[in-house]
Structure 1
Amino acid sequence: MMFEFDWPWLFFLLPLPLIVWKWIPAVRKSRSAIRLPSTYGLSGSRQRMSHRWVLLLLMSLCWFMLITAVAKPQWLGEPLAVRAEGREVMLAVDLSGSMEIADMQLNGRSVDRLTMVKHVLSDFIERRKGDRLGLILFADTAYLQTPMTYDRNTVKQMLNESVLGLVGERTAIGDAIALAVKRFRDDEESNRVLVLLTDGQNTAGSLTPDQAIELAQAYDVTIYPIAVGAEEVVVDSFFGQRRVNPSRDLDVPLMQRIAKKTGGKYFRARSTEELKEIYKRLDQLEPIAGDPQQLRPRVSLFYWPLAAAFLLFIVSAMMHYRPWGRNS
């Protein structure tokens, strides 16, 4: 254990009052202007001189204590070994036209797929304390909405501000995977996890999903595809009610192939509850353990010299206004 100052260089300010007094002409010409107001008259007596020296000593000690306080004195405890754990997760969200299908239930009402994904994914982001997150949005093409960051609020805000049709109506799954790989490529310390949320099949983009899978394999990117959408809903038609599958265009074999070849896991989210369970599963996956770090408990002690400076100032003020040597 040891005692130290966080900002010791501030002690170079100790001679500042003397420098101001000696080297600024305006101050030297008006010395009475920097003195505290006094109610007693001028006197050359020995008692008056002694009183001034006491005041000077008290004010000097007050200044010293103020500098000591702002230099941040602190007591350091014994080093503690702490292993940092976190995750680096890129989220890729589908904004294609099919995400507008209102086949999901949220708080007892029907909502479209994107609204449900935003609702549940926002809670997932909020729980990612200590993790770095990024956000990719894709439709006809893919673009990076938020680079990797610890700022969860920004990621959540960018997700909530996304709208359908922003980048087209089709689905470029291959481009979304390739963009995530590109962002992970230069980060050697990352565990390189991509959570891919989509409700359809690859219908656009400059890269096929298989080409993107090869890139992900080459750079050790693990992908967890999440297929969003109900499998059966009841709709009203001219001939009465009938059951339809709104997820008939979902390419399940592709999702399973992506997960298998990249070492991830395929999830199927047919409801809000299932998606929440998927995020709980992801909480338990892909932890990344950092190197052990030595952390030392710190106890701030600035309030002791600050309190001493305050008391010295009060004593100095009382002595200055006391009518020493005043004739009765």
Structure 2
Amino acid sequence: MLELSWPWFLLLLPLPFFMYFLPKAKPKGDGIWWGNTGQLIHHQDRKATSKGLSWRYLFLLLSWVLLIFAMTRPVWFGEPTKVTPSGRDLLIALDLSGSMQVTDMVLNDQSANRLEAAKSVLSDFIQQRRGDRIGIIVFGSKAYLQAPLSFDTKTINQLVQETQIGFAGEQTAIGDAIGLGIKRLEDKPSDKKVLILMTDGANTAGRVQPQQAATFAASQNVKIHTIGIGADSMIVQSFFGPKAINPSTDLDETLLKNIAAQTGGEYFRAKSTEDLHAIYQTLDALEPTPAEEVWQRPLTSLFHWLGLASMLFFGLALPTSKALSWNRELWQKGDKA
């Protein structure tokens, strides 16, 4: 079905016809009469010129009509399709601080840093969300909304893959990330407020203390699931040879456990990529909130196509105008002869 957003522009459609009936300008001075000899000589040229003039008017008329219809902003509505959302609104807060570049994970049998492993698992998780709305918060020294809650999981996944370490700063503002999540979920029903927080460190930046943010989240019925990411052991090369270290000494598990417990969520420990997959499978088992069926109709804007077609016909009228000028010069030369 076709719908015009601004149909009142159609009132301009007959404007060229009104201009045709306007009084013609009268030439100044006496007219000059030429004999019929030149007309007989150039009869074929004038016939061709008259034909070119007709094409020119036709092209200009089509250009005008298409331009007017483009200005009405036509939109084509496709067939309605039924979407059955599960009712879950999931905000995922992803840590992009400098410590996420530690390569203590394995991805596809190769060493990978924590962010690469997290993005790989998140990609699988997001692609399975059929009918759920997902949003992304990224945080480092500050917290930012990377993607608002949306059913468009393809775009959400693309935005996740575009994130890089350090985009939000080198430190970790856990409290600010929770505060931003509460703000984005404040208008949602109480049984739909879920925030998944993934980090590998402790709160080292931000204006809001994580414990205060968790208390406020509990008062707003926001459930927070926390994930602590980072291996317990990692082999590094030192001056004395290979050495085993714990790369997760900065992980504040006590804080993450308290945040989850205070808001009714759960705390998960991800020491490997396999652990991350298992954790998101557990999160995937969250009971969906029943919701009514939603009908959607795809919209296709025709403005650009009509505008391009109008420019095309206007461009076709220009060579015709040049041909008419050339033929007019031939008339004058023939009549003078």
TM bin (shorter chain): 0.5 to 0.7
The amino acid that maps onto 2:120 is H
Report what 2:318 is aligned to.
none
Shift of 1:286: 4.2
Deviation by residue 1:196-226 (Cα, 9 ceiling, x = unmatched): 1100000000100011101111110001101
State whether residues 184 and 190 of structure 1, in contact with CA within 8 Å, keep that contact through their aligned partners in structure 2: no
The question of whether the paired residues in 2 share the 8 Å contact of 1:194 and 1:221 is answered with yes
Q: In the alignment, is the contact (CA less than 8 A) between 1:83 and 1:289 conserved in 2?
A: no
Q: How far apart in 2 are the matches of 1:213 and 1:93? A: 17
Correspondence for 2:159: 158
Tell me what 2:207 maps to. Answer: 206
Find the aligned partners of 1:221 and 1:88 in 2 and give their Cα distance: 11
Taking structure 1 as the reference length, what is the TM-score of the superposition? Answer: 0.64
The answer to whether structure 1 residue 281 and structure 2 residue 282 are counterparts is yes
Q: Is the 8 A contact 2:84 2:131 kept in 1?
A: no
Q: Residue 191 of structure 1 contacts residue 286 of structure 1 at CA under 8 Å; is this kept in 2?
A: no
Work out the CA distance in 2 between the residues paired with 1:285 and 1:257.
Answer: 20
Q: Aligned pair count?
A: 227
The residue that corresponds to 2:250 in the other structure is 249
- Which one-letter code corresponds to 1:265 in the other structure? E
Alignment deviations for residues 226-282 of structure 1 (CA, whole Å, 9 cap, x no partner): 111101011111112211000001000001001100000000000011100001101
Q: What one-letter code is carried by the residue in structure 2 that aligns with 1:273? A: E
- CA RMSD in angstroms, aligned pairs only: 3.1
**Mapped partners of 2:84, 2:146: distance in 1:** 31
Spell out structure 1 runs of 4+ moving beyond 6 A. none
1:169/1:294 Cα in 2 relative to 1: closer, same or farther (>3 Å)?
A: closer
Comparing 160-169 with 189-198, which one deviates more in the overlay?
Answer: 189-198
1:179 corresponds to 2:190 = no
How far apart in 2 are the matches of 1:83 and 1:110? 40
Segments of 5+ residues of structure 1 without an aligned counterpart are 1-6, 10-71, 74-81, 296-328
Unmatched segments (≥5 aa) in structure 2? 4-77, 296-337
Q: Equivalents in 2 of 1:139, 1:88: separation in Å? A: 23
Identity %: 48
State the distance in 2 between where 1:246 and 1:121 align: 22
On the 8 A contact 2:85/2:130 being kept in 1, the answer is no
Q: Cα gap change, 1:205/1:88 in structure 2, threshold over 3 Å: closer, same or farther?
A: same
Distance 1:294 1:91, change over 3 A: closer
Matching residue's letter, 1:132: R
Preserved CA contact (<8 Å) 1:141 1:172: yes
Q: Given the two structures, how large is their TM-score scaled by the length of structure 2?
A: 0.62
C-alpha separation in 2, matches of 1:158 and 1:290: 27
